[in-house]
Amino acid sequence: MGLESGECVKVGVIGTGHVGLVTCVTMAAVGHEVVGTDNEAEKIDLLTAGRPWFFEPALEDLLKEQLSSGRLTFSTEPQQAIEDSQVLMISVGTPPRASGEANLVAVEKAVQTVARYATKECVIVEKSTVPTGTASRVRLTIDRMYPQNAADLHVASNPEFLREGHAVQDAMEPDRILVGVDSDFSRETLRTLYSPWTRTGVPLVETDIATAELAKHACNAFLALKISFINSVAEVCERADADVVKVAELMGMDARIGPHFLNAGMGYGGSCFPKDLMAFERLASQLGCDFGILHEIARANERALDRVFEKIGDILWNLEDKRIALLGLAFKPGTDDTRFAPALALAEKLIAVGSDVIGFDPVAAEIVRSDIPDLATTTNIYEALEGADCAVVCTEWDEVVGLDLRRAAEVMNQKVVVDGRNVFEGEKLREHGFSYFPTGRPRIVSE
Ligand code: UGA
């Protein structure tokens, strides 16, 4: 049977990305003994020195604290993370294949490694977002390749609901914890693992494994749906001279709709929504289901970005040689992650038609440089605005929201702001002589 509530659980975490590393530090913070492993030695060296290899608020302090507590260690040797562990969290990458399907090669390899080195009865937990049915594949792999260990290796699903930029807080204070299990050992062990949370009132929802796997995809798809819905409403608002911010506010006051994820803008990005949507769509079609809305969500997201591009062209006339400052490159504030970032997709479109594009970002400027060599980048927002014909708000960083408008007006070539995140008040911009083009709201054009 499982462990007693309150016991320290030995946890091995395979993969130290956004989900894996946050799992390592937060599990250690509540008193568990954690070994994190990754096959990239440089990452492990940085982590052992107390330095996360990506930017995430509050992570570095907690990492340092847990390393000194002695409860958290890192190793490139998976064996060290696996042997003796009672819970093995698989948090390796699941990038999209060209077909949209999730590439689960790293998951399969991680499972094989766990099955090879596990020395005691343990739970192998899918922490990465995976399509429904993955646990059955994992089970089959273990049964076929490691039949001698199979009875001691339990498989469970425990999807993560972390938002980048708030990951530590989300892990420490989640709305709910979801575990999909098919054995008493898994159920009891995961109850113990999460007892520091459930004792404080966080609900622990237990389901079968397929339901847990599917629920994660359903949550992300629904959140993306809300964003694409409001972005499509924004397009109509722009043409009808209505205000999408007011429409969203009104919609959000209906408790059945709720106020969150109704901020219109230039679309969602990041490593989760675009990838999970593709994988969910692919899964539904493989199962013979016609889930056309999923395709429309992604299409509306592309449209939101295209609209910004068209708008800039409409405002500036010819885009060739126009200097355009993109304010924010990360897919959202609080992270240096630029995967599927709308700002980068916009930069590529503008560069392709001959614009001179410069991107400001307080943390992602350096990272982007190698991805798009023709995109100049800076961590100084006024340098980005110097001589610009248009500033486009792509990410609502504090530096963007708190922009000194007088200074911006002084350095720009044309006082034009396209607001892809609706962070500014149009009247304030007008006072400084700007023409302001928000998303789904009436434009304010200064003469
Ligand atoms: C998302 C989910 O919010 C998490 O619950 C989930 O755990 C995670 O994916 C995951 O699957 O791992 P994340 O991708 O970090 O988290 O970021 P979000 O805060 O959800 O934002 C995603 C994108 O939507 C951003 O580009 C953001 O700018 C955009 N967005 C968000 C809008 O355009 N409008 C909104 O109203 C909200």
CA distance 393 to 417: 8
Report phi then psi at 422, rounded to 5.
50, 50
pLDDT in tens, 340-370: 999 999 999 999 999 999 999 999 999 898 8
Which atom of ligand 1 lies nearest, measured to the CA of 163? 15
* Closest to 264 (Cα-Cα) out of 419, 56, 431, 45: 419
Say yes or no to pLDDT of 6 above 80.
no
pLDDT digits (tens, 9 = 90+) for 291-322: 999 999 999 999 999 999 999 999 999 999 99
Tokens of 195: 């007892």
Q: Is 288 exposed, middle or buried (0-12, 13-18, 19+ CB in 10 A)?
A: exposed
pLDDT confidence of 4, banded at 50, 70, 90? Answer: very low
* Cβ atoms within 10 Å, residue 223: 18
Which pLDDT does position 101 carry in this prediction? 87
| Ligand 1 binding pocket mutation candidate from 249, 332, 396 (most atoms within 8 A of CB) | 332
Atom of ligand 1 nearest to the CA of 160: 7
Does ligand 1 have an atom closer than 6 angstroms to the CB of 339? Answer: no
Choose, from 272, 289, 390, 394, the residue flagged as catalytic. Answer: 272
- Rounded mean pLDDT, 379-402: 98
Distance between CA atoms of residues 122 and 110, nearest Å: 15
Decide if pLDDT at 2 tops 90: no
Structure tokens at 134: 């993955």
pLDDT tens, position by position, 17-70: 999 999 999 999 999 999 999 999 999 999 999 999 999 999 999 999 999 999
Testing ligand 1's pocket by substitution, the residue of 220, 302, 305 carrying the most ligand atoms inside 8 A of its CB is 220
Residue nearest to atom 11 of ligand 1 (CA): 272
What separation in angstroms does the CA of 199 have from each of 121, 329, 333, 375? 25, 40, 32, 50
Helix, strand, coil shares of the chain, percent, nearest 5, are 45, 15, 40
Q: Which residues pair with 207 in a beta bridge?
A: 180
List, in order, residues 6 or more apart from 256 with CB less than 8 Å away. Answer: none
Choice from 271, 272, 276 to test ligand 1 binding pocket (greatest atom count within 8 A of CB): 272
Amino acid at position 231, single letter: N
Task: Write the pLDDT tens digit of every residue in 34-47.
Answer: 999 999 999 999 99
Is 272 assigned a catalytic role? yes
pLDDT at 1 over 90: no
Is 7's pLDDT higher than 90?
no
Contact 341, 359 (CB under 8 A): no
Q: Is the pLDDT of residue 3 over 70?
A: no
* pLDDT of residue 162 exceeding 90: yes
Segment 251-265, tens digit of pLDDT: 999 999 999 999 999
At residue 5, the pLDDT reads 52
Ligand 1 pocket, 265 CB below 6 A?
yes
Pocket lining: 396 vs ligand 1, CB cutoff 6 Å: no
pTM for this one?
A: 0.95
User: Ligand 1 centroid to 101 CA: how many Å?
Assistant: 20
Q: What is the pLDDT of residues 79-134, one digit of tens each?
A: 988 998 999 999 999 998 988 888 999 999 999 999 999 989 999 999 999 999 99
